[in-house]
A and B are shown apart, each in its own frame.
Chain A
């Protein structure tokens, strides 16, 4: 019987009631008395020198309150980068200034140059168009290899476009080279991991507010991590102390990474609100989102896999060019390094691995984490090269994977990670069932009868989630800790409020976190309220990304709740005149072990706040505890995915006919929500594999800058998915045994789709087609079939 409450129950989401009735409160729904509106003047060229910005006409237009330019921000800091990567020669990465408004040069289309503030949004937009720019266009640098080879400099003062040249593990380099030289077989694959636009459906929005009477500044913003924004903007950009700065991220309409970062617009509206002493609001148009939200992926990679005669993996060597765009976004440097290089062991026993990553500045929108962040790039190249190797060796691709699976845990990879648990054979077995791999041949014949080429693609993935032990990431260059926090406040009448540093923007924390607390105490979930997203009423939190909320935030909450329970037991022991070591808590009742003496949860809570009969000498009144949890390790969700496609040989059009995902997420709090997370990730992965790409023309103009040109997956581009997470090897180092599930779908699915298309073409006799770069558009697939 599935559970109907607590941990493991598919509880319907409580947050749905407000979203389904139009009562959500997203940032753009907030309007403050006296509010002004901001519009940005942005660069229309990819690279240019700013000769002059003439704001006179704009400033005189109706409703315009003020036009700000870079000069107004002279005393303000640049947007900080939160991670410093050290290159393979021990040098720190090149780190350019990222001004709030462009200084001297514009470096990508969309780079903000001026800020117009007016009484209405229309007036602000009209005036922004009247700002006259004198910009001397410079040749842009767009191609990464050209940028490194001596193309025009994005940042003149750096003297190079190479941000860093990272090697990992540098000490292994020669051994890897030697293993590859002497191997029985080496499979080589060159590929592109296409640049994507995250496209959370809610465009970014920011409202700055300042109260001169109290000197308090508030920013309402579409953020996945309001405390991080408070820290970065307060301490590094505006110089506002944290106790005078409140950041609120209310309902947020999806993030997928793009709302982690501290953006110029947040600092600009807050600065303007302080200067003008009136609230200032900016809401991105979708066109603005396309040219300002940090984009994702954009790697160009060569991978080599060395194997012995039996197909055992001997070594992996990769060389990757990773696009940083024009500036370093908040966490950009760590994505192609520590979230990518460390994952190159995948699910396999490969004794020797060397990863080289060259991060490059170009005149494009900054690139940072997008759902999966580094891990999809690692998974894609590894799972593609394994498929290619299987074909070259005449082996079954599943068998080749199985032959190399890691089977003993904990497992130390040669790329720093220690996997605590996993069972890759079991997830592969489970996949075979839910995907009905045995029925593929029959379905293939049915497709053939319709004139369609059917192919099957299977792959595995592993990811490192629950980022991350602070002392470790500190050594790796993080400029932040990566713990999480929670305060559990019990009211006198027994209701519980949890204030968590995790942020929910679709993940359903208000429901799942309440399930955990209700289970721990044995009270109904309706007695538990989850509060998040406001620095004024939650302890310092690091926010939600990297599938970390339940693993890190959930653990902090469990730890705080455990302190509550320990204290409540002492109170119960006093009330029951027993020793607290004899008190048991079950179903909301404290019992003296082995007796029928008991007191209920509510009475203990009341006693804590009305301490008439209370051990005041030993115990403080009240029932409220805060805990910080710093993870001991990453968590390692893993899985096996299968995709079946049909390719139309006439047009090259690919249809995803079936998709199955067998994941190991460890313990699961709410299976319905977990399924939903996987569904969403798969659709994004199918989007990357077949539809989406971020294309710049030779002038650095974004060609795919609207939903007319950027092909988002729509309801009729995808099938129903079969998902399963019954193979669960619980995490060994966090209290709930959870691993995280937010990114798996987006990590595991692109190679499955591409493997399936290559399989379909190979079966149809196009044996020369060993790879097609994503997105596998009809034109690309058709062209591949023409040789």
Chain B
């Protein structure tokens, strides 16, 4: 067991981990931040996406120990300071971009990373970027709409094409 320290959602945290402990395990079991989900064991579903130093990362594909001193943001840290939903979260609700909610944290984190990189993505760019996030419920229709809406684009016109 080794001590690891990092900042998670603006809060300094530390804990004892094994060398093989994944970031997602540290978040879920070590810190009780169960919003980040595990949907696979081959790093292909995206349910576990968080931000590490501002970049979208699959938390099942990095070891906690490799993130000494890192700045981590999870779904629990995405709402506005007053607790209201952020623009992206609100767009997911407004456009029914979630059903069972299991893929949702990863989707929101991926969408946030996309919009940080590319503030006005095309439909095709959204679909391409979200390739690493599986959703079995929504058929992606409303997720793509939500992301386009969060970028300030007129989704009614795009989806009616």
Q: From B33, B37, B40, B142, give the contact of A707 (CB < 8 A).
A: B40
Q: From A507, A508, A683, give the contact of B140 (CB < 8 A).
A: A683
* Complex contact B136–A19 (CB within 8 A): no
Chain B residue at minimum C-beta to C-beta distance from A30 = B34
* Complex contact B34–A252 (CB within 8 A): no
State A23–B83 Cα separation when bound (angstroms): 13
Is B143 interfacial (CB 8 A cutoff)? yes
Q: How large is the interface on B (under 10, 10 to 19, 20 to 34, 35 or more residues)?
A: 35 or more
* Complex contact A202–B37 (CB within 8 A): yes
State A15–B99 Cα separation when bound (angstroms): 9
CB distance from A670 to the nearest CB of B (A): 9
* Contact A676/B100 with A22-B35, A253-B37, A716-B131 known, Cβ cut-off 8 Å: no
CB-CB contacts of A25-38 with B at 8 A, as 1s and 0s? Answer: 11011010000000
State A15–B89 Cα separation when bound (angstroms): 13
* Complex contact A19–B134 (CB within 8 A): no
Q: Which of A31, A199, A672, A720 has the most CB of B within 10 A?
A: A720
* Contact A683/B93 with A21-B76, A715-B126 known, Cβ cut-off 8 Å: no
CB distance from B45 to the nearest CB of A (A): 6
* Complex contact A256–B102 (CB within 8 A): no
Residues of A within 8 Å of B85, CB to CB, are 17, 20-21
Residues of B within 8 Å of A716, CB to CB, are 124, 127-128, 130-131
* Complex contact A506–B128 (CB within 8 A): no
State A672–B36 Cα separation when bound (angstroms): 27
Chain A residue at minimum C-beta to C-beta distance from B145 = A720
CB-CB contacts of B27-67 with A at 8 A, as 1s and 0s? Answer: 01100011111111110110100000000000000000000
Residues of A within 8 Å of B29, CB to CB, are 31
* Complex contact A679–B139 (CB within 8 A): yes
State A680–B41 Cα separation when bound (angstroms): 24
8 A Cβ contacts from B9-42 to A: 18, 20, 28-29, 33-42
CB-CB contacts of B142-159 with A at 8 A, as 1s and 0s? Answer: 111100000000000011
CB-CB contacts of A233-264 with B at 8 A, as 1s and 0s? Answer: 00000000000000000011110100000000
Residues of A within 8 Å of B137, CB to CB, are 201, 254, 506, 676, 680
8 A Cβ contacts from B72-104 to A: 74-76, 78-79, 85, 89, 92-94, 96, 98-104
Chain B residue at minimum C-beta to C-beta distance from A10 = B96
Residues of A within 8 Å of B47, CB to CB, are 201
* Contact A22/B75 with A201-B136, A254-B137, A676-B138 known, Cβ cut-off 8 Å: yes
* Contact A12/B126 with A122-B20, A683-B139, A712-B136 known, Cβ cut-off 8 Å: no
CB distance from B72 to the nearest CB of A (A): 13
* Complex contact A12–B136 (CB within 8 A): no
Is A445 interfacial (CB 8 A cutoff)? no
Chain A residue at minimum C-beta to C-beta distance from B29 = A31
Q: From A21, A202, A708, give the contact of B102 (CB < 8 A).
A: A202
Is B113 interfacial (CB 8 A cutoff)? no
Q: Which of A24, A122, A251 has the most CB of B within 10 A?
A: A24
CB distance from A425 to the nearest CB of B (A): 26
Residues of A within 8 Å of B126, CB to CB, are 715
Q: A19-B98, A201-B39, A715-B127 are in contact. List 14 more A-B contacts (CB 8 A).
A: A19-B100, A200-B100, A202-B39, A286-B41, A287-B42, A506-B99, A676-B138, A676-B142, A677-B99, A683-B141, A707-B40, A714-B130, A718-B140, A720-B145
Could you pull out 8 A-B pairs where Cβ atoms are within 8 angstroms? A12-B96, A200-B102, A202-B102, A252-B100, A253-B37, A253-B103, A506-B99, A707-B40
* Closest CB pairs A-B (n = 6): A22-B35, A19-B101, A253-B102, A683-B139, A506-B100, A506-B99
